[in-house]
């Protein structure tokens, strides 16, 4: 049985991004209800050398965009990265979901051996399609989604695993 590269990437990204949007909306409602400063939450990090909540969301949206655009051979949407509110982060997540929903299985399936290059700030990293997904994108995606969730949970948001899984 052949496993579809699309099936193990895009729908998973969408599901967990929907979960990230759910918990971020819940954080927005909590801030409004309790008159909490969103800026404090946006800048919160679990440890001083870790990314802030805002940066965790950036990374959780950037990795799927990079993967899908490289494998499908389409231009990646650009995010300015200057979000200053939970509403703006939710919009970023929703734009990412919309982009991913526009990717069709035929654009991804069969790209397991495709040569792609991820461009970092100071280097280029070559991958084959399957290696990109399995060894770079999925681990990073789950890490940043989980860390964003953990920051919200640590700050008192009443959320559970079902929210993380996009089941609310």
| CATH code at position 77 | 1.20.120.450
| Mean pLDDT for the chain overall | 95
User: What does the pLDDT read at residue 110?
Assistant: 96
Query: Band of the pLDDT at 161, cuts 50, 70, 90?
Result: confident
Answer whether residue 83 is part of any domain: yes
User: What does the pLDDT read at residue 63?
Assistant: 97
Model confidence pTM above 0.75: yes
When pLDDT is averaged across residues 33-57 and rounded to a whole number, the result is: 96
Query: Band of the pLDDT at 155, cuts 50, 70, 90?
Result: very high
Answer whether residue 5 is part of any domain: no
Instruction: Look at residue 91 and give its three-state secondary structure.
Output: helix
Answer whether residue 68 is part of any domain: yes
Burial of 130 (0-12, 13-18, 19+ CB in 10 A): middle
User: What does the pLDDT read at residue 167?
Assistant: 77
Token pair for 1? 């049985």
Closest CA to 137 of 56, 50, 61: 61
The answer to whether 166 and 16 have CB atoms below 8 angstroms apart is yes
Answer whether residue 3 is part of any domain: no
In the block, tokens 């681990």 appear at 139
Answer whether residue 1 is part of any domain: no
67-97 confidence digits (pLDDT tens): 999 999 999 999 999 999 999 999 999 999 9
Instruction: Residue 69: give the domain boundaries.
Output: 10-104+113-164
Say how many domains are in the chain: 1
When pLDDT is averaged across residues 92-107 and rounded to a whole number, the result is: 98
The answer to whether 53 and 43 have CB atoms below 8 angstroms apart is yes
Answer whether residue 141 is part of any domain: yes
111-133 confidence digits (pLDDT tens): 999 999 998 889 999 999 999 99
């Amino acid at each position: 049985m052949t496993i579809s590269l699309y099936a193990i990437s895009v729908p998973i990204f969408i599901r967990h991004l929907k979960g990230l949007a759910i918990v971020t909306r819940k954080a927005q409602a909590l801030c409004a209800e309790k008159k909490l400063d969103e800026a404090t939450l946006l800048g919160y990090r679990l440890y001083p050398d870790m990314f802030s909540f805002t940066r965790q969301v950036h990374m959780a949206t950037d990795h799927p965009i990079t993967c899908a655009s490289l494998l499908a051979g389409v231009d990646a949407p650009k995010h300015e990265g200057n979000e200053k509110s939970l509403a703006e982060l939710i919009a970023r997540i929703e734009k990412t979901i919309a982009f991913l929903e526009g990717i069709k299985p035929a654009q991804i399936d069969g790209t397991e051996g495709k040569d792609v290059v991820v461009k970092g700030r100071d280097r280029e990293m070559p991958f084959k399609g399957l290696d990109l997904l399995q060894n770079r994108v999925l681990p990073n995606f789950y890490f940043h989604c989980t860390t964003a969730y953990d920051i919200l949970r640590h700050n008192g948001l009443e959320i559970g695993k079902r929210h993380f899984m996009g089941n609310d």
